[in-house]
Structure 1
């Protein structure tokens, strides 16, 4: 089955998305990543999102820190225990195993990578490469090209890796063919914004006329503008993306904000 074959349909002209990324869970609930209990931070994000007017959650990758199967089961268990009612979609990060992500999919956790609403859509991309750095395969680029040329509806995209340098430590694990992906998105003319995780902080810039946003991690943040790996505990964090698609020949609009739960 090709990556974008299954489509999830929303019957609304507005879609509000919670972008939660880089949870770095362990097999045990008490696992700590640089002295932060990541399961607690992730659960606090889920609880806060459940109080928002949110249609779906997109998990942006790096579910696991210890690469254990149990960490994936904990992810599913934390979602099941939370008050969150909306569907949860995922895309893989460099730490993740796609087979294990697929294994926990079912019910509230969905495997779809193409989300349609009214006259617009959301695409969840696979930037997982053979190393911690990102790479979008030729096959995936071809599949994405086919989807983008399928119609003229506006879309927003999500991936895990940063496609451009951020002047930070994680640039050593950048999306290595990021410019190729970005030029594809811009040249097609449909993509309004690209959101990613991986860099453990919020960033915003443009590539040509494409808006690019990095979302902060639910676990910990990495200090900006330094080549040194310095961690900051700012409490659980996530991003909200609101997309409005009024209909054919109507302007597509989106807005976004970062939510910080100072724990």
Structure 2
């Protein structure tokens, strides 16, 4: 990887077995993903990150659809992935067996990226406490790099209706972020919207969905914001810049 690199995050594809099926806002998730991926290909990514909810119906066909769309894109940058609460873990593992899947990945001398695995109970999630302890130990040892933590659920509430589909145990993650000083970014999906929050010295970035966007309202709502993705340009010495692209 070069000293400066472009990470592109996309998330929450919610693909169906039926490629013609539409969902919220009458959006066809297969068609919108194709459009998003085509735009991503124009942005010269060095690395791509897919942060869960690939499937919308737990079907093997939904994962096959993702693979087909990805192969047709001819994007050569590595694709790193983690599952979301709508994913079948077995099918996710099979789908990404020949792709690079994310655990801990050193990007260059300045940056590393880490998946924080979760278990899911319907739309809610629970961070693996053992993995969190191991990650904390790693971050305390590897002080030469800046580290990006990635998970599916957001680590804190935003006073909107999606908060009910939260992490059951965010407190341990908060404690980790407050303890370490070399984790400037945490990336997540799940909320179908782009937003920025902060815990201690860590900036929390949410990614828009490649299909429909949720409204940031107290009660359930769907936004008219179009599908999108997030670009994060990682620079030496821990500097970074981000933009959100809508299609």
Please indicate, yes or no, whether the TM-score normalized by the shorter chain is above 0.5.
yes
Match for 1:222 among 214, 223, 227? Answer: 214
Alignment match, 2:65: 74
1:257 aligns with 2:243: yes
Q: Structure 2 matches for 1:1-263, cutoff 5 A?
A: 11-34=1-24, 35-107=26-98, 109-119=99-109, 120-152=111-143, 153-224=145-216, 226-245=217-236, 251-261=237-247
Deviation at 1:127, TM superposition (A): 2.9
Asked if the contact 2:174/2:199 (under 8 Å) is kept, the reply is: yes
Deviation at 1:106, TM superposition (A): 4.2
Question: 1:85-120 CA distances to partner (integer Å, 9 max, x unpaired)?
Answer: 21111011111122211101244x322322212222
User: Match of 1:71, SS?
Assistant: helix
User: Match of 1:46, SS?
Assistant: helix
Alignment match, 1:6: none
User: Match of 1:57, SS?
Assistant: strand
Residues matched between the structures, number: 244
Deviation at 1:173, TM superposition (A): 0.9
TM-score (norm 1): 0.87
Q: Distance in 1 between matches of 2:137 and 2:201?
A: 22
The alignment yields a C-alpha RMSD, in angstroms, of 1.5
User: Match of 1:149, SS?
Assistant: helix
Any gaps of 5 or more consecutive residues in structure 2?
none
Any gaps of 5 or more consecutive residues in structure 1?
1-10, 246-250
